[in-house]
Structure 1
Amino acid sequence: MKLTYYGHSTVEIQTNGKTLLFDPFITPNELARHIDVNALKPDYILISHGHGDHIADLLPIQKNSGAKVICIAEIAGWLGNQGVADAHGMNIGGSYTFDFGKVKMVYALHSSSMPDGSYGGVPAGFVIYAEGKKVYFAGDTALTYDMKLLAEEDLSWAILPIGDNYTMGIDDAIKAASFINCKDIVGVHYDTFPVIKIDKEEAEEKFIKAGLNLKLPAIGETIDLL
């Protein structure tokens, strides 16, 4: 299983011969200007919520790739109105098995609306079960006690926001790692805007002190989720 970081909260996971792209926000992100969006051909696009900094490139990438979109039911309905027929709507607590593995939709504490102001359902995270691994993509979320429900999942990796202001910051992400009982963390949702800029060295030191392994891949870098 491999993970490629495309900036902000956009990550790609390659597993069981399929490519999963999460929360595509690339072309408006100056930090990711070297990424060719047209080269991205995911089999699935997973959307945590409807904010523009998570779906800016959703429609063009979906059209270019024919990817199935996995999202909350209300976003699936919105996509239907945009001409996207291949959307798999889910809701919190539900799971479904696809050809690459199983996806469970879990709670995220945030807000959500679509770019046109319409209702985007509730925000969500995902747990991906594939290749004998369990990977948690938290989406945009605050620290919440509901994360403790994941503690018995024996998560392999967790992809957590760490930029603060709009989501958890570094200290709360460390608490979240404790709540979910996962030591291997990929940090996302930082540096894109001035209010979420972090000190990477400080973040890494804090995670190490907490006994955690924090990965902060460069934009465009691929790492193995061992």
Structure 2
Amino acid sequence: MNLTYYGHSCFSVDIKGTKLLFDPFITPNELASKVIDVDTVAADYILVSHGHADHIADCVRIAGRTGAKVICSWEIYEWLGKQGISNVHPMNTGGKWNFGDFTVKVVVAQHSSGLPDGSYGGNPFGFIVYTEDANFYYSGDTALTLDMQLIPAWADLNFAVLPIGDNFTMDVADAVVAAQMVKVKQVIGVHYDTFGFIKINHEEAKKAFADAGCTLHLLEIGEVVEYELRIGQ
């Protein structure tokens, strides 16, 4: 298993050749568009945590080009249909589905969700992804919530992908608590530095996690990490 970071909260996980792309936001992201050609990004599945533009902006473009199946809320499913995207699997909070090479469980995220046209995007999601090699949790955009205490009952996690930028989501301190609640020692930070509202101090963030006995990975855009080498427990 390896993970490729595309900036903001967009990343891809390769599971034995099956590529899961999360929250595609590349072309409007000035930090990412200088480095990543969106039309070369591969995807077999696209998982969308919620409808905000900084998580769905390139979904239609990539899904249309690749034919990837989009996993999202019912409301986003309906919106994508209006954009001509029909290969979509709608889910909702608490639901679980086996897609073959991996299984997804949708969990609570405390946030909001509006689509680019102003329509309602349904519940915001977090995802637990189960695979033969590793299980991981992507919280989506969220505040710290006591619902996270349930996650270890559903999965023995190897790592988590958590927002750390504050203002719109958890800050670093809350993300440290979230890591403790979901019982991981390895965290990939997302949703930081893209805009002025969410700038962070990298060294202070890493130290906060280290002081709690965790490792925070802040990846460069385009960086690929292999689970066994860099983020394994």
TM exceeds 0.5? Answer: yes
1:131 offset after TM fit, Å? Answer: 2.2
Does 2:155 correspond to 1:161? no
Name the amino acid aligned to 2:94: G
- Aligned-partner Cα distance in 2 for 1:220–1:154: 28
**Alignment partner, residue 221 of structure 1:** 223
Does 2:46 correspond to 1:45? yes
**Alignment partner, residue 201 of structure 1:** 203
- Aligned-partner Cα distance in 1 for 2:163–2:132: 24
1:197 offset after TM fit, Å? Answer: 0.5
1:105 offset after TM fit, Å? Answer: 0.8
Q: Structure 2 stretches of 5 or more lacking a match?
A: 229-233
- Aligned-partner Cα distance in 2 for 1:181–1:99: 26
Deviations, residues 68-112 of structure 1 (Å, cap 9, x unaligned): 000111111111111111000001111101122101111100000
**Alignment partner, residue 3 of structure 2:** 3
- Aligned-residue Cα RMSD (Å) equals 0.8
**Alignment partner, residue 82 of structure 1:** 83
Q: Structure 1 residue runs of 4+, over 4 Å off?
A: none
Aligned partner of residue 204 in structure 1, secondary structure: helix
State TM-score, norm by structure 2. Answer: 0.95
**Alignment partner, residue 152 of structure 2:** 151
**Alignment partner, residue 101 of structure 1:** 102
Greater alpha carbon shift after TM alignment, 172-181 vs 125-134 = 125-134
1:117 offset after TM fit, Å? Answer: 0.8
- Aligned-partner Cα distance in 2 for 1:174–1:67: 33
Deviations, residues 12-61 of structure 1 (Å, cap 9, x unaligned): 00002200000000111111121010001200000000000001111111
1:151 offset after TM fit, Å? Answer: 2.4
- Aligned-partner Cα distance in 2 for 1:75–1:200: 34
**Alignment partner, residue 20 of structure 2:** 20
Q: Structure 1 stretches of 5 or more lacking a match?
A: none
**Alignment partner, residue 132 of structure 2:** 131
Would the aligned equivalents of 1:112 and 1:120 in 2 still touch at CA under 8 Å? yes
Does 2:185 correspond to 1:183? yes
- Aligned-partner Cα distance in 1 for 2:118–2:179: 33
Percent identity between the two aligned chains = 55
Q: When the two structures are aligned, how many residues end up with a matched partner?
A: 226
Aligned partner of residue 151 in structure 2, secondary structure: helix
State TM-score, norm by structure 1. Answer: 0.98
**Alignment partner, residue 70 of structure 2:** 69
- Aligned-partner Cα distance in 1 for 2:76–2:197: 27
Name the amino acid aligned to 1:211: G
Aligned partner of residue 76 in structure 1, secondary structure: helix
Aligned partner of residue 191 in structure 1, secondary structure: coil
Name the amino acid aligned to 1:121: G
